[in-house]
Amino acid sequence: MRKTSLSLSTAIAVVVILLSFPPINTFAAPAETGTMAALTSFKINFQDAATIPPAGWLRDFGQAYGLRTSAYQGSGNTYGWINRNDNTPLDLTKNGRKRSSPSDTLLATFMHMQADDIAGFSGTPVEGRWEALVANGIYDVTVSVGDGAYLDSRHTIRAEGVPVILDFVPATSMRFRKATVSVKVTDGRLTVDAFGGTNTKINYIIVQQASVQRPSVVSVNPEYGATNVSEYASISTSILNLPNGGINNATITSSTVYLAEKATGTRVPANVNGTGGGDAITLVPSAPLKLSTTYVFSVTSGVKDLSGAGFIPYSCSFTTTATPHPTSGIAFMQVQLSNAAGRHSSLTIGPDGKLYALSIDGIIKRFTIKADGTLDTPQLIYALQDAYGARTPRLAIGFAFDPASTATNLIAWVTHSTYVFLNGPDWDGKLTKLSGSNLQNVQDVLINLPRSVKDHLTNSIAFGPDGALYFTQGSNSAMGKADQTWGNRAEHLLSAAVLRLDKTKLGALPLNVKTAEGGGTYNPYATTAPLTIYASGVRNAYDLVWHSNGELYVPTNGSAAGGNTPASVNGTLRPNGTTYNGPYVPALTNVQQTQNDFLFRVKKGGYYGHPNPMRGEYVLNGGNPTANTDKAQVNAYPVGTLPDVNWRGYAFDFQANKSPDGAIEYKSNVFNGALKGKLLVVRYSQNDDIITLTPGGTYNDIVDYKDGSSIQGFTGFVDPLDLVEDVRNGNIYVSEYGGNTGKITLLKPNSTATTTEVITMATKNETIGDVIGVEQSVHAANLEQNVPNPFNNKTTIRFYIPANALSAKLVITGMKGDVRRTIELNSMNNQVTLYANEFSSGIYLYTLWVDGKQVDSKRLVVVR
């Protein structure tokens, strides 16, 4: 666990809200004396006392906060150091350093901000924060961190509580990092701290007065300076600073967000996009990247937020692997369809054997499928639009045929709302039944379902094995409590949930399901209620799949950083009929940790991690129960914050910013059944592909997966949103929402692909799918960076081992290859903990081996 005064454990992001600890700007500051001037724009170098700063720079050599009177400190300026723990002036004059390299004085010098992380430190082993007396207003703050001699830090810097640099671990090829953020000072003091970092060393600070707060990129994936990155990688922002609300997605273009080869400057053809919430940026290359090549990802000031403020320019680099990514023996051929343009939110094949495509504006297209899988000219059905006025667009998402529907008696259901993507009206969702040969009979069944101000809507539909209609209802907020990015709209009783409609209980139509907090009377807890909450805490699930194994799988989009969570309130009624009576859960504000996207195996009555104070559910995802790295941990919670007692965890972790949307169970026997029973999920943001998931094991969670790059034809899409299989021949139709017009693409099983080699390996107790899984188990395995790193107490290494792996081990070596420790692993565990007292100070490599093959290696740093 990383050292903080609050004992907060951390994983991939640094907390910004200090729980049980005063916010930055409420600290009492030492009184100033003498003649003082409020700084506005200035440059200060952090250094030892003897060094002369470069021309035009002030110097700070560790003096306690106060009026500065020494040489190279200007006249009447007030700045200096304060003890972060007890808020008293702090003398750090023994903590300034100047290294022999690099030659640039600004980089060769620095101040130890967290010397208490260093065993036997010869200076002042106390963590300090730096403050300067400034005029109230808006400032652009640029900070550099690093050390020309040692790589023993995980640098983190905040300005006014806003992350500037997060978790930067230097390497020999990248010792320094500089970043800029825009902040607002309201108390007359600019405050800079290293909260959450380890042995942070600050080189210099540049502060410039500004007229407007600008958004900025804080971190991305792949991380700054990452190596061995897959040639199929896509790039997305992990944490953004959005002081004025969400991004204007229209400003995300190939000229404002791009990837280029570092050596030549050649830009990589790619698809760039944002999210419906305006809280992330994604770039997906149109083709695999070159091996062993360094790329630079850039976001320019041409990207703007909804207020019109441009982003602070940002760039970072990463280097691709030297080893090509392996592929399986399964292959599909992508076929472009000349008459299937359009932005389609849902695809399905009707009982008449025709392909139905629901366009985002509510037009239903009916295609006759030709013998070769291509599509005839579609019939356009405007029944839904015309029910609200001639050709009136509706924002339509879910479309499914009723089990009672036949080729001559079509019955379909659709979810929809007002056709706006910003400032959407509340209580605007509808579920409507369409019937007749041309679906011309339109009947609203449910009205006044919740709706967010953006694109968290009443989503997709699936009929369960019990004959009931299930659909997903999106959240109104980022993390459970109203926030600026999502229009400050609170959660409702029916939001962020999987809802179940028992059609046999319906009476007069339409049924108004507006609940009490909106002035309605509908009670989903009533015994006679047709619409009930099947499962709660499902943030924004685009699709849901009832699998042939009896399980309900729901891929769900997690939140970008910056959301708020609610504090618990005793006495609130919960979905299971009990009332909430503790433990107390603190509210969090501006959570600086992107929440991962998950696949949930949803059970009736389960809670899946998105808080909703209307339902007495307050803990975001897995909380923070222990000092170790916990499952779905939220770092901002104090250690000891337990997950909701009804939290069911997840079946698969997609990681962050993937946007898993449309999903199906593949049912065809092509490829000798190798894909039969697999879940296929399109990833709209990062990857732009179809990921293949294998359910299995005791609980039918996911035991193996294949990225789209492992199966020919499963990658290279532009914002894939939904998919459907023609089970008669195994063809797949994919809705690509992006590009100039959007389109439907046909994937045909490639008969030239073969799995003969692995078929010969199968025993009478194995299926072909099992053998392929064993053959490819090493490729499905995954190794994560240890957290924290560097560490002086203990650290946690997380990994994923497929259930069908025959053997696995973690080998820790010195930098010369000498083995220090070998840990045998199995698929039942997903992490190990190492303790610093087991090693000498230094740098080590840890390598994951699965079935005798090396999966990945990463570096850890022990500081004792």
Burial class (CB in 10 A: 0-12, 13-18, 19+), 351: middle
pLDDT in tens, 62-80: 999 999 999 999 999 999 9
Which token pair is 156?
Answer: 């983190």
pLDDT in tens, 492-502: 999 999 999 99
Q: What mean pLDDT is reported for the chain?
A: 89
* Continuous segment of H or E residues that includes residue 770: helix 768-775
Residue 765 binned pLDDT confidence (cut-offs 50, 70, 90): very low
- Of 143-147, 452-456, 807-811, the range with the lowest mean pLDDT is 807-811
Tell me how crowded residue 190 is: count the other CB atoms within 10 A of its CB: 22
* Continuous segment of H or E residues that includes residue 759: helix 756-759
Q: In the predicted model, is pLDDT for residue 18 greater than 80?
A: no
Check residues 228 and 62 and name the one with the higher pLDDT.
Answer: 62
Is the CB of residue 396 less than 8 Å from the CB of residue 416? yes
Q: In the predicted model, is pLDDT for residue 9 greater than 60?
A: no
Please choose, from the candidates 635, 640, 649, 862, the residue with its C-alpha nearest in 3D space to the C-alpha of residue 11.
635
- So what's the pLDDT on residue 817? 65
Cα–Cα distance between 716 and 708 in angstroms, integer? 9
- DSSP output for 524-567: TTSTT-SEEEEEE---B----EE-TTS-EEEEEB-PPTTEEEPP
Q: Phi, psi at residue 672, to the nearest 5°?
A: 55, 30
Is the CB of residue 797 less than 8 Å from the CB of residue 124? no
| Mean pLDDT along residues 95-117 | 97
Quote the pTM value: 0.74
Residue 777 binned pLDDT confidence (cut-offs 50, 70, 90): very low
| Mean pLDDT along residues 543-571 | 96
Which token pair is 319?
Answer: 């280097």
Is the CB of residue 663 less than 8 Å from the CB of residue 680? yes
Q: In the predicted model, is pLDDT for residue 15 greater than 80?
A: no
Q: In the predicted model, is pLDDT for residue 823 greater than 50?
A: yes
pLDDT in tens, 435-448: 999 999 999 999 99
* Continuous segment of H or E residues that includes residue 771: helix 768-775
pLDDT in tens, 243-286: 998 899 999 999 999 999 999 999 999 989 888 778 889 999 98
Percentage of the chain exceeding pLDDT 90: 74
304-338 exposure pattern, b = at least 16 Cβ within 10 A, e = fewer: bbbeebbbbebebbbbbbeeeeebbbbbbebbeee
pLDDT in tens, 322-360: 988 777 779 999 999 999 999 999 999 999 999 999 999
Residue 670 binned pLDDT confidence (cut-offs 50, 70, 90): very high
Q: In the predicted model, is pLDDT for residue 552 greater than 70?
A: yes
Q: Which domains does the chain have, with CATH numbers?
A: 31-211 (2.60.120.430), 215-325 (2.60.40.1220), 341-560+595-608+648-748 (2.120.10.30), 781-862 (2.60.40.10)
Percentage of the chain exceeding pLDDT 70: 91
Give me the sheet containing 394-401, strands edge to edge: 394-401, 411-418, 429-435, 441-449, 511-512
Which token pair is 800?
Answer: 């994923």
Cα–Cα distance between 695 and 665 in angstroms, integer? 10
Angstrom CA distances, 864 to 120, 169, 170, 792, 818, stand at: 9, 17, 18, 5, 20
> Which amino acid, residue 527?
T
Residue 24 binned pLDDT confidence (cut-offs 50, 70, 90): very low
Is the CB of residue 194 less than 8 Å from the CB of residue 127? yes
pLDDT in tens, 28-51: 444 444 456 688 899 999 999 999
Q: In the predicted model, is pLDDT for residue 17 greater than 50?
A: no
- So what's the pLDDT on residue 793? 77
Angstrom CA distances, 668 to 335, 351, 729, stand at: 19, 17, 7
Check residues 22 and 39 and name the one with the higher pLDDT.
Answer: 39
Q: Phi, psi at residue 518, to the nearest 5°?
A: -105, 10
Q: In the predicted model, is pLDDT for residue 714 greater than 80?
A: yes
Is the CB of residue 606 less than 8 Å from the CB of residue 576? no
Which token pair is 62?
Answer: 């560790």
> Which amino acid, residue 709?
S
Which token pair is 836?
Answer: 């610093």
Q: In the predicted model, is pLDDT for residue 291 greater than 90?
A: yes
pLDDT in tens, 749-760: 986 543 322 222
* C-alpha torsion 66→71→73→77, nearest 10: 50
Tell me how crowded residue 68 is: count the other CB atoms within 10 A of its CB: 24
- Size (the chain), residues: 864
- DSSP output for 277-292: TS---EEEESSPPPTT
pLDDT in tens, 734-743: 999 988 899 9
* Continuous segment of H or E residues that includes residue 731: strand 731-736
Classified as helix, coil or strand, 779 is helix
Q: In the predicted model, is pLDDT for residue 25 greater than 80?
A: no
Q: In the predicted model, is pLDDT for residue 373 greater than 90?
A: yes
Cα–Cα distance between 591 and 162 in angstroms, integer? 11
Establish how many alpha carbons lie within 13 A of residue 232's alpha carbon, considering only the half-sphere containing its beta carbon.
21
- So what's the pLDDT on residue 795? 86
- So what's the pLDDT on residue 816? 59
Q: In the predicted model, is pLDDT for residue 763 greater than 70?
A: no
- So what's the pLDDT on residue 818? 73
Q: State how beta strands 441-449 and 511-512 pair.
A: parallel
Check residues 37 and 591 and name the one with the higher pLDDT.
Answer: 591
